[in-house]
Amino acid sequence: MRRPMVAGNWKMHGTRASVAELIKGLSDLALPSGVEVAVFPPALYINQVVDGVQGKAIAVGAQNSAVQPEQGALTGEIAPSQLAEAGCELVLIGHSERRQIIGESDEVLNRKFAAAQACGLKPVLCVGETLEEREAGKTLEIVGRQLDSVIEAFGVEVFAQAVIAYEPVWAIGTGLTASPQQAQDVHKAIREQLAAKNPEVAANVRLLYGGSVKAANAAELFGMPDIDGGLIGGASLNADEFGAICRAAGN
Ligand code: PEP
C-alpha cells in the first residue's frame, strides 16, 4: 500500500517575512495523518522552515543539490550532506525549470541523484514532456528516456528510495492541467517501465503528478490508480489551498 505524498515546491519565492507567515499557516493546518507532506523552500530559508515546522509532520526538502555528496571546492553549490545536516529529507532532481533554463543534462542529474542518495536524501526525480513533444506523440518516449537514464546508470532498485514526479512542462505554472486520464496514462507507463525490471519496486514507488494542481482539481487527479499524490508549485504558497490539496490526497 503506497502512502500518498503531497509536496510543495516554493521555487524562488519568499522573503523571511513571507516564509514566516507561510510556516504559521502550515502550522495551523489539520493535516491528514495518512499523507506524507513535504515542502521545498529556497535554500536560504531551509533552516527557518526546519525550525518553524518542528513538531509538525511536515518534511523539508531542497530544490537542488550538488553533484558531489560532500562539502568541497564547488562555488555556489550546496552539498547533499550539508542539506541532510540542515534537516532536509528530500531533494528535487531534474525539475523542468532546471533542465530547461539552467540546462542540466541527464548526466548531471544522474550525478545529483546518486550524490543525494549517498547522503540519505530521498530524490524526487521530475520527468515530463514539452507541449511540442506531446503534440508530436512523443510523451512516453521522452518520459521513458528520462527515467531510463537513471535506471541504466544505477539500476531500477534505486527507486526503492526515491519518488518520481510526472510534470508535463506545458502544465507547469500555466493553469493548464493534464486531464486525470492523460496523467494516469503516463503514470501507468512509468510503473510498467519499472515493473519490467522489478515488479516490487514498481508497486511501491510513489508517482506524483505536478502541473497546475489546485484544491479544485486535486481529488480527481489523486483518484486515479497510479497517481499517489502531487508536486505542487504555485498553490503551495497559500497554506489553506495547500492544506486542502493535502486533504484531497488523504481521501
Ligand atoms: C512545479 O513547479 O513543480 C509545479 C507543478 O508548478 P505549478 O503547480 O505552479 O504548475
Q: What is the CATH number of the domain that holds 219?
A: 3.20.20.70
- 154 vs 117, 151, 166, 167, 194, CA distance in Å? 11, 5, 20, 22, 13
For ligand 1, what atom is nearest to the CA of residue 172?
10
Q: State if residue 23 touches ligand 1 by the CB under 6 angstroms criterion.
A: no
C-alpha torsion 16→21→23→24, nearest 10: 140
pLDDT confidence bin for 1, thresholds 50/70/90: confident
Catalytic residues, which ones?
A: 95, 167
Binding-site residues: 9-11, 173, 212, 233-234
The domain in which residue 224 lies consists of: 5-250
Residue closest via CA to ligand 1's atom 3 equals 233
pTM for this predicted structure: 0.97
213: left (phi over 0), alpha (psi -120 to 50) or beta: beta
Q: Are 166 and 187 in contact (CB under 8 A)?
A: yes
Q: State if residue 232 touches ligand 1 by the CB under 6 angstroms criterion.
A: yes
Q: Total structural domains in the chain?
A: 1
Q: CA 11, 2, 205: angle at the middle one, nearest 5?
A: 65
Residue closest via CA to ligand 1's atom 8 equals 233
Binding-site residues for substrate: 9-11, 173, 212, 233-234
Task: Give pLDDT tens digits for 8-66.
Answer: 999 999 999 999 999 999 999 999 999 999 999 999 999 999 999 999 999 999 999 99
pLDDT of residue 251: 86
pLDDT of residue 213: 97
Task: Give pLDDT tens digits for 125-144.
Answer: 999 999 999 999 999 999 99
* CA 210 to ligand 1 center in whole angstroms: 6
**What phi and psi, each to the nearest 5 degrees, are found at residue 231?**
-110, 115
Spatial distance between the Cα atoms of 216 and 213, rounded to a whole number of angstroms: 8
Residue closest via CA to ligand 1's atom 6 equals 233
